[in-house]
Amino acid sequence: MDFKLSFNVNEAVYLKDPEKSELGKKIVKYSIDLINNIGFESFTFKKLAIEAGTTEATIYRYFENKHRLLLYIISWYWKYMDFLLDYQLQNVNDNSQKLKTIVKLLTHELPLSSGGLDYNKKFLNQIVISESSKVYLVKDVEEINKSEVFKPYKELCAKIAKVISAYNKKYAFPKSLSSTIIEAAHHQQFFSVHLPRLTDVTAKTKNDFAAIFIEDMLFKILNQ
Q: Residue 116 above 60 pLDDT?
A: no
Q: Is residue 97 domain-resident?
A: yes
Q: Is residue 4 domain-resident?
A: no
Q: Is residue 72 domain-resident?
A: yes
Q: Tell me: the pLDDT tens digits for 175-199? A: 999 999 999 999 999 999 999 999 9
pLDDT score at 147: 85
Q: Is residue 31 domain-resident?
A: yes
Q: Is residue 106 domain-resident?
A: yes
Q: Is residue 12 domain-resident?
A: no
Q: Is residue 9 domain-resident?
A: no
pLDDT class for 111, splitting at 50, 70, 90?
low
Q: What is the CATH number of the domain that holds 35?
A: 1.10.357.10
Q: Tell me: the pLDDT tens digits for 157-177? A: 999 999 999 999 999 999 999
Asked whether 161 and 173 are in contact (CB, 8 A), the reply is no
pLDDT class for 134, splitting at 50, 70, 90?
confident
> How many whole angstroms separate alpha carbon 166 and alpha carbon 200?
30
Q: Tell me: the pLDDT tens digits for 62-104? A: 999 999 999 999 999 999 999 999 999 999 999 999 999 999 9
pLDDT score at 149: 87
Q: Is residue 6 domain-resident?
A: no
Q: Tell me: the pLDDT tens digits for 198-208? A: 999 999 998 89
What's the whole-model pTM score? Answer: 0.89
Task: Name the residue range of residue 123's domain.
Answer: 18-222
Exposure pattern of 166-189 as b/e (b: 16+ CB <10 Å)?
ebbeeeeebeebbbbbbebbbbbb
Domains in the chain, number:
1
